[in-house]
Every structure is written in structure tokens, then in C-alpha cells.
Structure 1
């Protein structure tokens, strides 16, 4: 079988980007600070890094040219920034595994949103996967009912729906430049957190971990994943993103010895299995369609 250099390049970028992104929850834990303090500096550092890159690349970037696209960019930036705050708050209020497992269901929620609100045709395999993923989320939730982690799980569910909405809007506006969206999302994260945070009371150690996250990890991972999405079909991107769901809790367990709840493992297996099967079948369908078009 002939290898596609562009696909291989995109796959390498995606795997590298998601691997780097998988350290996100660990860095939040290592910062050992309040969720809103973490969100403030996370947003500030991301804004600084991506803002500088945008400034130097401003002549080579395309900007929205219609009112509709500007409104889409505004909505995506708000969702992106709010999702960042929700992720940090969820990680600081529940097991990391619970957060990333519930968040992993976002692509399936996105398919449901596209089907409900935009009347997009959704394959039966995706609808079945959505039902399995919802059942998996309920299994994860069942372990935290009445427990301190219940708030974190609930925030993760809101995050998954928010991420799904953002993914749906991004897919409907492929011409929007991703880097300015990341910069504006950093600003939104900072503004949401600022009234409730005490960011200047953090220790130098905490700031060091947050600087590593906001100045290096998130911008590099995001740029790699954004670049990869231009060369890979969305089912393949969804499969690669499962690396974060698996590795995120592993890093926290390895470094901080945070245990994985048994129901999280069961619910996670249902969610990851549903996404993996749906993505593999979607990828086969995509490749079959591509082969038929080449044969015409």
C-alpha cells in the first residue's frame, strides 16, 4: 500500500501534540494552587505566548471577512476560554481520571449537537456510540454521588458539552485562523478568573509550573494539533486524542500516586471503546469513499 507523506506528517504532529498535552492535568496538580489562581495564570501565559506569535505572523494570517465569521470567532473564543476554566476547576475537585474520561465524550456530544440543532445526518454507529458514552458517563458519576468529587464530575460534564459545542462551531468555520482564537481564549480565561483569584500570592514554585504550562506546553501542543488537523480526517484525530485520556491519569498516578477509581475504569472503558469503534468505522468509511472518488 502506498504511503501518504502528508498523512504521515499529520499523524506525527498529532501524536506529538497530544502526548505533550497529556501532561496538562499533572502540571495543574504540581502547581498546588487554587483552581481560579491556576486559571488566571494559565490564561495570562497562553495570551502572552500566542499573542507574540500572532504579532509576528500578522501579515501572513487570514482574518474573518464577514459578520457571521466574526460572531463565530467571538463565540468560539468565549467557549474556549470558559472551557479552560472548567477543566482546571474540575481537575482540582475530582480525580484526574474522572475529568479526562468524561471529557473524552465531547466528540460524541458534538455529533449529537450537530444532529439536533443543524440537522446533520448522523450514522447509526455514531448514535449507538453516543448512547454507550452517555452510559459510561453515568457509571463514572455513580461513584461520586454524595462524595466531594461530585462537583468536579459535574463540571467535567459541563466542560464536555461546552467542548462539543466549540468543536461543532469550529467545524462549521474551517477558515477561521486557530492561533488568534487560542490567544483570545487566553484573554477570556484570564478575565473570568481575575475577579475571584489571588494570583500574586502564589509561590515561585507554583508559578514555575504554571509558566511551563502556559508559555510552553499548551501553545506547542495546540499548534501541533491544529497543524495536524489539516492533514488528517476528523475520525483519525479523535482516535489520536484518546492518547490524552489514557496518559493523563497515568502521569498523575506515576508522579503523585493518585489512584484510579474502579468505576472510572469501567465507565472509561465504555466511553473509550465507543469512541474508538466509531472512529475506526468512520475512518474506514472515509477511506472507502476516497478510494471510490479516485477510481471515478
Structure 2
């Protein structure tokens, strides 16, 4: 797609809104639980991408999977961890906890890239990491007392896997091997479907549950993934990082309004530190680049 900047911003906002429906939809499921939720969402995501990707990117997208080699499959494995951990975490703790925990992804990416490929971290980012770390520690302290720590730790697997994913992609790029993220997302959905199937049995989802999870596979994951890939060709990295934060705001509001799940004061305070640190870091980085 040939996008203007304003249209890319609009589509990125639309993508974050679609991402954010996972929490409220999960709260309306009747019988599906834990790994069964993950299985059905991953299954419908893979099914949707098998239709969407050839239309948007041509049939050559499947050839890229065969020729992708280890980097593409490692990227797909990271995506599968992200898909699985996200949905399991939503069944263990609040939507707000999950989304705020995921928002530390850019900082974890900076730390992993520093450790694995020696990327230099600017002073402003070190400061932002410290502030965000304080916010997460504040949240985690409250989770120990209310029994939600396990869900928050599972949610932490999402930004960790994302950090490893982006770092592997950067390393492959520096070595002259480009990893196409589009087929990697499809590989991730297929892998998640395969290894959550045994854990999802016996199926207990109602027809209504299947309908909701099919909606998540198509609208919450497959379509926005395709949109973000297109937007990334127009928008700068700081713009994408800032716009992606809308998922946290939209997700918490939808769960609050649509499922009566009000965020606690601890989550709001810790989340404000994390998101504030990310916004300031990205804005300062954007200004320096400009």
C-alpha cells in the first residue's frame, strides 16, 4: 500500500484499537479457559493470515517461509511465545496489569540489544529504564499480596520475547540476512496453535466462545499485524512506539467500560511511571533525530 503520513497514523491508531479488544472480549467468554483460549485465537489468526497475506503480499509470501532459514523460524518462535503468554496472562490477572507490563517492551529491547549485540544505550534511555523499572516494581509489590503475581510474570514473557525478536532481527540485518516479519507472524501463529493444542484438550468452549475467539484471531491480531507492517514503511520508529501506547489506554478503558474491570490505584500509578518514561524517551529521541 502507498500510504501518506496522515493515513499511516490513522491506520496505526486503528490497529491499536483492534489490539485493545482482547481483554474485554476475554471477559465475556463462557467456558473457554487458559490454553484453550490461546489455541483458538492462534488457530483463527493463522487461518486469517493464510487468506490475508497472499492477497496483500502475493503468493510469494509462502516461498519466503521456505527460504527464510533459522532467523525466520526463531522470529516465528518469539511471536508464538508472545501470542501464547499474552492470552494466558489475561486469564490470570487484570487487563491493566497485562498491558502495563507489556509496555516496558522498548526498554527491555534496549537492554537485550546492549547485552547481545553491543548497542549503545543513550543516557536518556538509562534514566527512562530506571523510572519504568520503579513503576513495574511498584506494581509487582502489590501483586505479591493480592495473588496476581503469576499472571504479571507470564505477561512479562511478552515484552521479553519481543525484545529477543527485534534484537535477532537487527543482528540478522547487520549480517546481511533480512527477516521478513510478515511470514514470521504466520509461523508464530501456527507454532502457537500446534503446541497449545494438547494443553487445550478437552475442548470446553461454547459456540459463543468460538465466535468471540474467531473475532480475536481476525480482528484483534491478523488484520492489525498486516496494517502495522504497512505503516512501518511510512512512520518512524518513535512514532510507532508512541502510537502503540494507545493500546494500553484503549485496552484499560474497554475492560473498564465493557466488563466492569476497574484498574487499581497501584496499577494506575505504576503505569503512569512506565508510560510517562516511554513517552519522554521517545519524544527526546525523536527531537534529536529531527
Question: TM (normalized to structure 2)?
Answer: 0.90
Contact 1:40 1:199 in 2 (8 A): no
| Whole-angstrom distance in 2 between the partners of 1:37 and 1:65 | 29
Matched residue, 1:16: 14
Q: CA deviation at 1:99?
A: 0.5
**CA 1:286 to 1:214, structure 2 compared with 1: closer, same or farther past 3 Å?**
same
Q: Which residue of 2 aligns with 1:88?
A: 87
1:193 matched to which residue of 2? 196
Aligned residue number for residue 63 of structure 1: 64
Work out whether residues 136 and 274 of structure 2, in 8 Å CA contact, stay in contact via their aligned partners in 1: yes
The answer as to 2:194 corresponding to 1:184 is no
Contact 1:90 1:99 (C-alpha < 8 Å) held by counterparts: yes
Q: Which residue of 1 aligns with 2:268?
A: 265
Q: Distance in 2 between matches of 1:228 and 1:148?
A: 39
Question: Structure 1's 8 and 286: CA in aligned 2 closer, same or farther, altered over 3 A?
Answer: farther
CA distance in 1, matches of 2:98, 2:205: 24
Instruction: Give the drift of 1:261.
Output: 1.1
Q: Deviations over 1:165-198 (max 9, x none)?
A: 1232344456433321121111111112111113
Report the alpha carbon displacement of residue 54 of structure 1 after superposing the two structures with TM. 3.5
The residue that corresponds to 2:241 in the other structure is 238
Q: Offset of 1:6 from its aligned partner? A: 3.4
CA contact (8 A) 1:64 1:176 kept: no
Alpha-carbon distance between aligned partners in 1 of 2:103 and 2:162, rounded to the nearest angstrom: 10
SS of the aligned residue for 1:122 comes to coil
- After TM superposition, give the deviation of residue 199 of structure 1 in Å: 6.1
Q: CA deviation at 1:118?
A: 0.8
1:3-30 Cα distance to aligned partner (Å, 9 max, x none) = xx73323222211111211112222222
Q: How many correspondences in the alignment?
A: 281
Q: Could you list the per-position Cα deviations for residues 103-136 of structure 1 after superposition, in whole angstroms to 9, with x for gaps in the alignment?
A: 0001111011111221112111111111111111
Cα deviation, residue 220, structure 1 = 1.1
Q: Residue 204 of structure 1 aligns with which residue?
A: 207
Matching of residues 57-206 of structure 1 within 5 Å: 57-59=58-60, 63=64, 70-173=69-172, 175-198=178-201, 200-206=203-209
Equivalent position to 2:250, from 242, 247, 250? 247
Pair 245,171 (structure 1): closer, same or farther in 2 beyond 3 Å:
farther
CA displacement at 1:244 relative to structure 2: 0.3
Correspondence 1:37-52 to 2 at 5 A? 37-52=36-51
Structure 1 residue 232: Cα displacement = 1.2
- Return the alpha-carbon distance in structure 1 between the equivalents of residues 289 and 149 of structure 2: 39
Contact 2:61 2:183 (8 Å CA) reproduced: no
Question: How large is the RMSD of aligned CA atoms in angstroms?
Answer: 2.0
Gaps of 5+ in 2: none
